[in-house]
Structure 1
Amino acid sequence: MAAVRYAALIAATITTGLVSGLFYGFSVGVMPGLRASDDRTVVEAMQRINVAILNGWFLLGYVGAAVFTGLALVLEAVSGGGGGALVPLVGAFVAYVVAMGLTARVNIPLNDALAQAGPVERIADPAAVRRAFEGPWVRANVVRTLLCAVAFGLLVWALAARG
């Protein structure tokens, strides 16, 4: 049972770290790089990214982080939680679920609206589409990046507590 608890915690830490890094990359590289681009380029690039990112590898990390963290939390709680990992696991799970909720309430609807705008060459006012998307999406991404970084740090703490 201890090996399964440890494996779940390692998987949670790895997948959460991957998602945190992905969101961080958008915060410090992708979106600042696109900020200097024209409206049509931003809209088209994000439309393409939003399609490309929906793949099994992304879903393994994104959903896996929640599943593995939840599993690690349940296994730790069932085992009595005497190793000091329970509190950081609870915090990590809450932070990651809040990040998922933010993604579902803000980022995904913005991505969907961007897709509904249609092919970039047919958009009459790409500046308006960009304005409606970019600011809110970037702000939400920064918050979910911070939440995922907190979750990752708490999972590292839980790993250290497990020894």
Structure 2
Amino acid sequence: MFDLANPILIFAAAIGSGIVGGIFYAFSSFVMAALGRLPPAHGAAAMNAINVTVITPSFMIAFMGTALVSLVLAGSSFFWWGQTGARVTFAASLIYLVGCFGVTTACNVPLNNRLAAITPQQEAVLWAHYLDRWTLWNHVRTAASVVAAVLFTAVLFLI
């Protein structure tokens, strides 16, 4: 049943996915290009530092909190499926969960772990591959986060 909790959760998901999308957009727009202009050892070291530093409460609340809220909204949308906004809420939730959270855990994090584990002799070879692959997957999660934010916001106008 649709109740007051849903608009609050939908609003939180819209804000959270927008914040996450903005962070990822910065990386797609200029951060990775800037790191790519550095010598491989410096670029890899900077990215490794970013990957450690990003584990902060403020980022994790936005990133993982939005995933949790999206999971709750996806499940609860079946209880009000016939009502306005339920299908869009489900779609937005699924897009965030798969396109942002899923891509991060399946693609970006393994690349980060591999980069952190390489020796200095491997940096030059891996760095070019890392930049291309990581940025490609970052584009996907950026788009997913932004689309989810737009859809969650649209639901607020529908209900």
TM-score past 0.5 threshold: yes
Secondary structure (helix, strand or coil) at the match of 1:29 reads: helix
- Within 5 A, what are the aligned runs for 1:1-163? 2-79=3-80, 81-82=82-83, 84-99=84-99, 100-117=101-118, 123-162=120-159
Alignment gaps of 5+ in structure 2 = none
Check whether the contact 1:18–1:61 (CA below 8 A) recurs between aligned residues.
yes
Secondary structure (helix, strand or coil) at the match of 1:2 reads: coil
* CA distance in 2: counterparts of 1:79 and 1:96, whole angstroms: 20
Q: TM-score, normalised by structure 1?
A: 0.88
Coordinate RMSD, CA, aligned: 1.7
* CA distance in 2: counterparts of 1:80 and 1:117, whole angstroms: 49
Q: TM-score, normalised by structure 2?
A: 0.90
Offset from partner CA, 1:10-66 (integer Å, 9 cap, x none) = 111111111111111110021122222221121011000000001222111111112
Secondary structure (helix, strand or coil) at the match of 2:55 reads: coil
TM-fit CA distance, 1:72: 3.2
Identity of aligned residues (%): 27
Q: Size of the alignment, in residue pairs?
A: 157
Offset from partner CA, 1:67-104 (integer Å, 9 cap, x none) = 1123234444434552x211111111111111222111
Write the letter of the residue equivalent to 1:94. Answer: L
Check whether the contact 1:106–1:140 (CA below 8 A) recurs between aligned residues.
yes
